[in-house]
A and B are shown apart, each in its own frame.
Chain A
Amino acid sequence: MLKTRGSFLVDATGFDAWALTLAVFLPAVGALVMMVVPRARELELKMIALGSSLAALAVGVYLLFAFDYGNAGELQFGVHKGWIDAINADYILGLDGLSLPLLILSMVIIPLCVIYSWEHIPEPGNAKAFFILMLILASGMNGTFVAQDLILFFVFFEVVLLPMYFMIGVWGGENRRYASLKFFLFTLFGSALMIVSFVALYFVATNEAGTALNTFNMSELAEAAGGDLARGTQAIIFAGLFMGFGIKVPMFPFHTWLPDAHTEAPTVGSVILAAVLLKLGTYGFVRIALPFLPEGAAAWAPWIGLLAVIGIIYGALGCLAQTDMKRLIAFSSVAHMGFVMLGIATLTPIGINAAVFGMVAHGIITGMLFFLAGSVKERYHTLEIGRLGGLLKSAPRMGWILAISAMASLGLPGLAGFWGEFPVILSAYNPGAGLSEELFRTYMVIAAVGTVFAAGYLLWLFQRSAFGEPKAEWEGHAIADVNRFEWAAWMPLILAMVVFGFFPGLIFGVVDDVSVGIAESISAAVGGS
């Protein structure tokens, strides 16, 4: 049964109508197939995992080519079918310029993780379960980025949670129980508030005329842009969304699950967590919180900005205090996501663009750094920075890759990280939607100071781990350089860092229409009332 649909989400025809569904469920189908394959046939299992994730990526490549870039602000490849009529939740998928980069990022990361894990299944083994979880994660993440119905979004958002919980809890480090539970509880707590806000949106969201919409359809809610909801109501609903997404990001006071989860998670778990999972939160802000509740966003923006800059400085200070490489990288995520959130908080197109760029760049760079940390751990059996050293000498290629990744992470122009930071600083000079200029200019300066700290901890890390002579305790240990699986898994990420560093327009161009639309609707809503 077809419901009335928003005028701008047109059902696609032919293969296009199936493309997104395939993109979302191909990995899940792979996981299903794997379930019936006996555990002993490991090679087949791996092939299925790789095959299904690559099949999803192939769909992604098709999407990249078939995507109408002139119309990046509109939802494309739309699917709209009835789902749960009782609560008015539909199966709506759609892809626009905001979703596309993140969807592709998620699609690329998964096969790379499969390749990396090919011979690196962490303790206690069991490749079958490991890959099945990874594929379920892939489905959940892909689905979150293309879902255009709040309930569907929520389902995908939560689907991601459980595999990650098991991944950390089963394949994690020594403290895995604690970390996995912390991760689970934190996110679940956020989700609970988020779903309350979704339901509230369902009941109170109105259109311009004041008629209740009673819909979970995201494009309709975005078009209504808060309707004639009072600023206070919007702010309250926004608070629920803020908790749900902010914990996932994670923003400053809610970040403590992140270092633990990252430190304990297996390498690929950390990579997926950093590269894609954190983006679910920021994506939620841009996709849901901002356009649905523009005035709520304007009311909260100064606070989001404040927490963001605290996060930037705080994350950096946290990094400086770490002695464990993986934990340091984990803390750097807090700082980087601070930049992303500051960009969002400015409510300007540049800021939102930069935030989306920052998400992708952080996914690539931090994902890469976690891969490296995993490989270092595998070779040295420790991540204690004080015990490392001379990586450039014992494994020069790995040292170089670490150098490039660290440089990208500290925001060096010519590599991807810079374009997630510099435009944020620019946009904070002139925030949108009537936000206080003085306040955001202060944030701007603090954020700029944060870049120095970033350089500080990354260079410190690099100096200790890569420069100098290898420590005496590793004498006689053959520290293998990058092997072929690692090359295969890493090369795309390194290339992406350089390519996006030189051609930031590749992402900005796609996202621009959407973020301009969001910023305009916010300033219209704020200015008009």
Chain B
Amino acid sequence: MWILENAFLIPLIPAVSFLVILLFGRSVIGAERVHKVGITAVGIVWILSMIAAVSWITQVEDATSSKADDAEHALVSVNEGLSASGSGAVDGDLYLAAEDDGHGSDDGHGYAAGPDPVISTADGWWSSGGIDFAVGTLVDGQTVLLLVVVTSISLLVHIYSSEYVKGDRRFVHYYAFLSLFTASMLFFVMAQNLVQMIVGWELVGVCSFVLIGHWWEERPNTDAAVKAFLTNRVGDIGLLVGVAILFGTFGTFDIDSINRAVGEMGSEVHFAMLMASIALMAAVCSKSGQFPLHTWLPDAMAGPTPVSALIHAATMVVAGVFMIGRLYPVFFEGFSIGTSSINLMAFIGGFTALIGAGLAFAQWDIKKVLAYSTVSQLGYMVMALGVGAWTAAMFHLFTHAFFKACLFLGAGSVSHAAHHTFDMREMGGLRKYMPHTYKTFVISTLALAGIFPFAGFWSKDEILLGALKGQESRYLLMLVFGCVVALLTAAYMTRVIWYTFWGEYRGHGHPHESPKVMTVPLWILAVMAVVAGAFNLPTPVLELFGLERFAHLVQTYAEPTHYLNAIGLSHPGPEWEMAAAGLVLALAGIAITFMYYWRNTGPHGLTERNRYAKAGYTFLEQKYYLDHLYTDIVVGSIKAPIARAANWVNNNVIDLVVNRAGEGARDSGRWVYRWIDQGTIDNTVNALGSGADAGGQGLRVMQTGKVQNYGSLLFGTAAVVAIVFVIVL
């Protein structure tokens, strides 16, 4: 348990590593060896995280067994009387809040979520006007889950990068900021209060900025970096305002207390929670790439590929999802997730999932396909949270991190082999040259597509199920979104595989398999993409093998039941029909795409079989087939229009609006500066002077020097004044 109470060590180690690398990297350690520092630090942190995970599991198990007797007869009740007691024993700066009555149950399927302790430590950081700002760590299942994800992916990316970024002009800085990012992200996930959360949130944003702009000599990279940072700042308005609302309502920053308070007060604070939720949703939209603030994420691919894998696929972009999960009672109350059948969060999530998937078809850059896929999958998670499927969202976050990181690293490996290009039109046939990359990529693709029994299948199924069942009423629109996206996801990923690995090599030079330093992490991730789903297998599945004990591990250990049951969250049981439907959709997506390419692919069959093409080998005609593919496959459906419309909207409306907003801000700035500042205010000041001057020039005409003219003026003025007096008095 020691590690859970001293969890601050976990972010501290990479932070120290950052300083060491930055300050001593070039001089003492040597530029080509800094990656060892980073890898060591993250390795230690990974071990600590694993220890933390084990301790956490032990803790939950202990609590469960010690409460076993109570649990036996409390088990029957499903969702009744589940009010959070909120009476954690407070002693000093450490309290262990053990719930007495926090039993969840999944519609009688008979597992007991154990009492759910939260370990929260806090030390006074500073105080202002009677309000104490604390710094501390909040460790619960969700934190531990993220610790595992972040440190695992980070470690693998560190290792992978040592080859991928080798010899880079800024190798030292790269590793320094990779460490800083890891530290910030870990700091963020164990933030004890909202202020810390903001700090972590901003710090990961800066690391993202620095790493996207890693090759800052080229203008597009810095543009992308600035765009990412600015878009995130837009969301930060929401974050700052949302935090201010929460603080104003509850008078505390403490996340644990806020969650408990919302659970207790419920509808009393509904309006404030609605406002806070909307504000925070803006932050989620920017950080987690949700519509309409997602446009920075594809551009962010300008950074080095491992960075994209770590930051822009697996960890930082899920910060928004994590925050929703962390403050779930707030959103649950604010958006009335329990009672509605559609709400802002679910809609934004579902819609983002749909447009992201649609856009992925229109890309030729493999990283951009993956980026849009990430957008889409993040939308899935947000949608899951929006329909009340908390566990499903976290589970999907967990599985997605592995297979998406694997896909990105695979893309990096491909580009490493194929002369640093990410254009799929210059790839092709790579499966022959790089078998490891190919295999891992396919495994991850299957996982992403949600094919049984890969990880994605299980998590996606839970999300669809959540939408189907909802809380009090089903989220029908979300279910439709989810199903369509399932189909699309499978289809565009198959397309990627086709262009990248099948067919003939269309690039220059001789592609080669990447070294082991890169393939081993790929394999690890691929294995995780296969087995990660096992961590939350539903009981009925495991019953077949007599392994019920291992069911719902994520749910059991990650879900903060004392918050969620306090707000009355129910868990739908698994349904074979839904699972089968999801699987069929995914398979259909793959099958249609595959069939299409299968019919038209190959050096031999292409020209003969295709009516529209004159020749089948050249790049241009491939593009032509793509248009044909779109019209052929999605005929009668609205997918291509959606993709194009979305792309069009993306490029012409949202980007335009963003650009125009920027230009407009600049223009209005210029306008205000020129006309108001320089023109009005400044001129008023200047005008006093020049007006006097001009007036003087005007009066100069009157200054004839002739006494009689002055006399005329004198008497005339006297007369006028006299007349005025006479009239007035």
A interface with B by C-beta (< 8 Å): 182, 253, 256, 314, 316-322, 348-354, 390, 392-393, 407, 412-414, 418, 422-423, 425-430, 444-445, 448-449, 451-453, 455-456, 459-460, 463, 466-469, 503-505, 508-509, 512, 515-516, 519
Query: Chain B's nearest CB lies how many Å from the CB of A479?
Result: 16
Quick one: closest B residue to A470, CB to CB? B217
B interface with A by C-beta (< 8 Å): 124-131, 133, 195, 198-199, 202-203, 206, 213, 216-219, 222-223, 225-226, 229-230, 233-234, 236-237, 240-241, 243-245, 247-248, 662, 665-666, 668-674, 677, 681-682, 685
The contact of B244 among A318, A444, A456, by CB within 8 Å, is: A444
Quick one: closest B residue to A437, CB to CB? B248
- Whether A319 lies near B126 (C-beta < 8 A) is no
Between A and B, 28 residue pairs with Cβ closer than 8 Å are: A253-B681, A256-B685, A314-B677, A320-B665, A321-B670, A321-B673, A348-B129, A349-B129, A351-B129, A353-B129, A412-B202, A412-B203, A414-B202, A422-B195, A425-B240, A426-B243, A426-B244, A448-B241, A456-B233, A456-B665, A459-B226, A467-B213, A467-B217, A505-B124, A505-B125, A505-B127, A509-B127, A512-B128
State the CA gap A427–B130 with chains docked (Å): 12
Given A452-B230, A463-B222, 20 extra CB contacts under 8 A: A256-B685, A317-B665, A317-B668, A317-B669, A317-B672, A320-B669, A350-B129, A351-B129, A393-B217, A422-B198, A426-B248, A429-B245, A444-B241, A448-B240, A452-B236, A452-B237, A503-B126, A504-B126, A505-B126, A519-B129
Known: A321-B673, A467-B216. Is A426-B127 also a contact (CB below 8 A)? no
Q: Which residues of B contact A321 (CB under 8 A)?
A: 666, 669-674
The contact of B229 among A348, A455, A466, A505, by CB within 8 Å, is: A455
Query: Chain B's nearest CB lies how many Å from the CB of A28?
Result: 33
State the CA gap A467–B302 with chains docked (Å): 15
Q: Which residues of A contact B133 (CB under 8 A)?
A: 504
State the CA gap A173–B712 with chains docked (Å): 49
Q: Which residues of B contact A515 (CB under 8 A)?
A: 129
- Whether A469 lies near B217 (C-beta < 8 A) is yes
Q: Which residues of B contact A256 (CB under 8 A)?
A: 677, 681-682, 685
- Whether A414 lies near B128 (C-beta < 8 A) is no
Q: Which residues of B contact A469 (CB under 8 A)?
A: 217
State the CA gap A448–B677 with chains docked (Å): 23
- Whether A448 lies near B669 (C-beta < 8 A) is no
Quick one: closest B residue to A410, CB to CB? B233
Query: Chain B's nearest CB lies how many Å from the CB of A444?
Result: 6
- Whether B203 lies near A414 (C-beta < 8 A) is yes
Q: Which residues of B contact A425 (CB under 8 A)?
A: 240-241, 244
The contact of A413 among B202, B245, B671, by CB within 8 Å, is: B202
State the CA gap A96–B724 with chains docked (Å): 60
State the CA gap A425–B671 with chains docked (Å): 28
The contact of A459 among B229, B247, B668, B682, by CB within 8 Å, is: B229
The contact of B226 among A449, A463, A509, by CB within 8 Å, is: A463
State the CA gap A407–B205 with chains docked (Å): 12
State the CA gap A463–B223 with chains docked (Å): 8
Q: Which residues of A contact B666 (CB under 8 A)?
A: 320-321
Q: Which residues of B contact A317 (CB under 8 A)?
A: 665, 668-669, 672-673
Quick one: closest A residue to B668, CB to CB? A317
- Whether B247 lies near A429 (C-beta < 8 A) is yes
Q: Which residues of B contact A428 (CB under 8 A)?
A: 244
State the CA gap A416–B34 with chains docked (Å): 29
Listed from nearest, the 7 A-B pairs whose CB atoms lie closest are A349-B129, A505-B126, A320-B669, A413-B199, A317-B669, A321-B673, A321-B669
- Whether A512 lies near B127 (C-beta < 8 A) is yes
Query: Chain A's nearest CB lies how many Å from the CB of B444?
Result: 34
- Whether A468 lies near B128 (C-beta < 8 A) is no
Known: A422-B198, A516-B129. Is A445-B226 also a contact (CB below 8 A)? no
Quick one: closest A residue to B216, CB to CB? A467
Q: Which residues of A contact B234 (CB under 8 A)?
A: 452
